Amino acid sequence: MGMVGFTVALMVIGVIISPCVHGNEFSDHKEIEVERLLKRLNKHALISIKSEDGDIIDCVPIHSQLAFDHPLLKNHNIQMRPNIIRESTSTYTKNYINVTQAWHKKGICPENTVSIRRIKKEDILRSNFIENFGKKMTPGILLYGSSSVHEYAVMNCKKGKYFGTKFAVNIWKPKVQVPNEFSLAQTWLSSGVGTNLNTIEAGFQVLPSLYGDNNLRLFVYWTADNYQKTGCYNTNCPGFVQTSNRITVGGTFKSVSKYDGIQIAVLVMIWKDGDYWWLQINKELVGYWPAKLFSSLGKGATEVLWGGEIVNEKTGGKHTSTDMGSGHFADEGHRKASYFRNIMTVDKTNTLREPQGVYPTVTNDNCYNIKEGRNGTSWGFNFFYGGPGLNAKCP
């Protein structure tokens, strides 16, 4: 139907629609909604630091951060330190250098503030729906089936009762083929099933759709309802309470491991201390998830996982070439493949123990694989993982 016929047809039913006008009205409405969201998410900063990677880090008074907009955290008594510090002065911790994020080149935030990555207009506009900004769009931890675009190489711990985990991971800057894909290395602590799934997650990711670049970044995540309405990445919604003025969740890492070269390993610890799940990176207490955010994790986790995950969009009908970890298979070993080492779990007596009943889950070992390392070494329980994706055996 031509434009004249289209207009006449609309006039017959008494309506004339101007696509341009309606488009502008929609655009204006969206613009207003985005500005409202930005005003709600970005709290007043004492000072702001422009990072060389394009981020703006806002130094927000610790009591003013977004976390306390959560209805369950009204009148919350901020915890500055846990009652139990996990080996913060041990020789094990001393083996790790201070984590350097890109924004540190311009300084750090003052005491009694927290370093928050400012959310920009373009960050929100990259989201499919404004109301879903900062959230995962697919429910579940391990997503299988022919329709799933998620692929994994992870180690699972047998079901039990867990109150934390501790490990070292060498960090890389994996190549991500297209913006809607990602690559990450993380740990999951979870409890509950179905819509009652609760998770606490932390690790390192390249996620262009969230950050607008291909930098490696520290991230945290949480959900209390299987990724439906609760939780989000980092400090993009109320929930996770940041306490650090030095480490920014969502911040870029300046140094990463090099193939057959220097290995940058980061020590990650998550543990339950009373009513709070704490996160520590090397020696720095980053923040915590209050147990009251959850329906079941407040009583401890029943599962713990560690490893890598990617998204495969099958661009052009082929498997993605997105790297997992270093982009090299586990068989290549130290200095070439990605690893998790000195893996421990925290039991009900608050004791660190090597995990028992550990088993691997791999989506397609021709694309990405996993290999348990030798025990009885200074590396404790460890494994290598990763891969290049697209190759002769992974078309």
Task: Please identify every stretch of the chain with a pLDDT value under 50, giving residue numbers as ranges.
Answer: 1-22, 88-93
- Half-sphere CA count of 102, side-chain side, radius 13 A: 19
State the DSSP H helix or E strand holding residue 14, giving kind and residue range, or none if neither: none
What's the rounded Cα separation, in Å, for the pair 340 and 380?
10
Residue 354 lies in a domain: yes
- N-term to C-term CA, the chain: 44
Give the pLDDT confidence score for residue 173 in this predicted structure.
98
What's the rounded Cα separation, in Å, for the pair 339 and 326?
9
Number of domains making up the chain: 1
What's the rounded Cα separation, in Å, for the pair 177 and 183?
10
Structural domain of residue 289, as residue ranges?
142-384
Q: pLDDT tens for residues 251-285?
A: 999 899 999 999 999 999 999 999 999 999 999 99
Catalytic residue among 309, 313, 354, 372: 309
309 catalytic per annotation: yes
Cα–Cα–Cα angle for 262, 207, 366, rounded to 5 degrees: 70
What's the rounded Cα separation, in Å, for the pair 284 and 290?
18
Return the beta strands (E) in the chain as ranges.
47-50, 56-61, 113-117, 150-156, 164-170, 183-191, 198-206, 217-223, 241-242, 265-273, 276-281, 284-290, 303-311, 338-346, 352-353, 359-362, 369-372, 383-386
Give the pLDDT confidence score for residue 1 in this predicted structure.
45
Residue 154 lies in a domain: yes
Give the pLDDT confidence score for residue 84 in this predicted structure.
81
Residue 341 · residue 302 · CB < 8 Å: no
What's the rounded Cα separation, in Å, for the pair 95 and 162?
26
DSSP letter (8 states) at residue 391: B
What's the rounded Cα separation, in Å, for the pair 293 and 200?
11
Catalytic residue among 201, 284, 303, 372: 201
Residue 245 · residue 113 · CB < 8 Å: yes
Residue 38 lies in a domain: no
Residue 184 lies in a domain: yes
Residue 51 lies in a domain: no
H helix and E strand count, the chain: 5, 18
Strands 265-273 and 276-281: antiparallel
Residue 151 · residue 312 · CB < 8 Å: yes
Residue 353 · residue 314 · CB < 8 Å: no
CATH code for the domain of 235: 2.60.120.1270
Residue 394 lies in a domain: no
Spell out the SS3 assignment of 282-345: CCEEEEEEEHHHCCCHHHCECEEEEEEEEECCCHHHCCCCCCECCCCCHHHCCCCCEEEEEEEE
Q: pLDDT tens for residues 30-78?
A: 899 999 999 999 999 999 999 999 999 999 999 999 999 999 999 999 9
Cα–Cα–Cα angle for 333, 334, 336, rounded to 5 degrees: 75
> Which two structure tokens, joined as six digits, stand for 202?
């932390």
pTM of the model: 0.91
State the DSSP H helix or E strand holding residue 7, giving kind and residue range, or none if neither: helix 3-12
What's the rounded Cα separation, in Å, for the pair 128 and 143?
20
Residue 69 lies in a domain: no
Q: pLDDT tens for residues 127-143?
A: 988 989 999 977 778 87
Residue 369 lies in a domain: yes
